[in-house]
Amino acid sequence: GAVVSQHPSRVICKSGTSVKIECRSLDFQATTMFWYRQFPKQSLMLMATSNEGSKATYEQGVEKDKFLINHASLTLSTLTVTSAHPEDSSFYICSAYGAGATNEKLFFGSGTQLSVL
Amino acid sequence: GENVEQHPSTLSVQEGDSAVIKCTYSDSASNYFPWYKQELGKGPQLIIDIRSNVGEKKDQRIAVTLNKTAKHFSLHITETQPEDSAVYFCAARLGGQNFVFGPGTRLSVLP
């Protein structure tokens, strides 16, 4: 299957700092990328949908000024958690959707465990 | 909008036995149904999928069946092994890139 690379896999930061997470589609062009948050033993919670070259669409209850999403190219989307606080600690996962060669399938990154001290 | 239910939420089987996870969806326009396996601390991995014009698909020990009339699809794992232990998510695609996920099933394969 297609490869989606997500970095870093784990990050520990101090409260008040910002953290950037990268999501790259390595062998296909992702027209749309999604960002999720997952709490222990729970399902995937969609945070936002980003399309290349346009503003992200955020789900209800997700602060767009806190979770900045940039989808500057067809292979890269970034999520920046601004002024992180302990309650932002979670497992963040991206996914990428591409038409054509990937047969319109959805592929996930490996996830980023964020711990805010 | 689309709603996907998944049962059971947890499933324990003995190694070598079969495991079945069932999902139901609400929108008959959904046309693509993938299954993902998520191991602890990792992202979900696509393991098998089926399109609405097919009733069954098999890949080695895993298979997926689709009943469009009843709007349900199931994942079947035969000859389970300890490495099959994970959380499994089903999903339904309504159209374009609109995917709706089930809540997940935690499968434990007991040696």
CA distance A111 to chain B (A): 5
The pLDDT-based confidence of B98 (bands split at 50, 70, 90) is: confident
Number of neighbours of residue A31 by Cβ within 10 angstroms = 19
Nearest CA in chain B to A43: B103
Determine contact, residues A58/A48, Cβ cutoff 8 Å: yes
Q: Is A68 exposed, middle or buried (0-12, 13-18, 19+ CB in 10 A)?
A: middle
* pLDDT reading at A100 higher than 70: no
Minimal CA–CA distance to B65: which of B45, B79, B51? B51
CA distance B40 to chain A (A): 9
Q: SS3 string of chain A?
A: CCCEEEECCEEEECCCCCEEEEEEECCCCCCEEEEEEECCCCCCEEEEEEECCCCCEECCCCCCCCEEEEEEECCEEEEEECCCCHHHCEEEEEEEEECHHHCCEEEECCCEEEEEC
Q: What is the pLDDT of residue A102?
A: 64
pLDDT digits (tens, 9 = 90+) for A40-53: 989 999 999 998 88
CA distance B16 to chain A (A): 25
Chain B residues contacting A via beta carbons under 8 Å = 32, 34, 36, 41-46, 49, 89, 91, 93, 97, 99, 101-104, 106
Q: Which of residues 15-44 of A touch B (CB under 8 A)?
A: 31-32, 41-44
pLDDT digits (tens, 9 = 90+) for A64-89: 999 999 988 889 999 999 999 999 99
pLDDT digits (tens, 9 = 90+) for B20-74: 999 999 999 999 999 999 999 999 999 999 999 889 999 999 999 999 999 999 9
Specify the residue for token string 């953290």. A19
Hey, are the CB atoms on B97 and A32 less than 8 Å from each other? yes
In this complex, how many residue pairs, one in chain A and one in chain B, have their CB atoms less than 8 Å apart?
A: 49
* pLDDT reading at A29 higher than 90: no
Q: Hey, which of A4-18, A23-37, A51-65, A99-113 has the most confident mean pLDDT?
A: A4-18
Q: What is the mean pLDDT of chain B?
A: 95
B93: chain A residues, CB-CB within 8 Å: 104, 106
Hey, are the CB atoms on B103 and A108 less than 8 Å from each other? no
CA distance A37 to chain B (A): 11
* pLDDT reading at A101 higher than 70: no
Q: What is the pLDDT of residue A22?
A: 97
Determine contact, residues B97/A32, Cβ cutoff 8 Å: yes
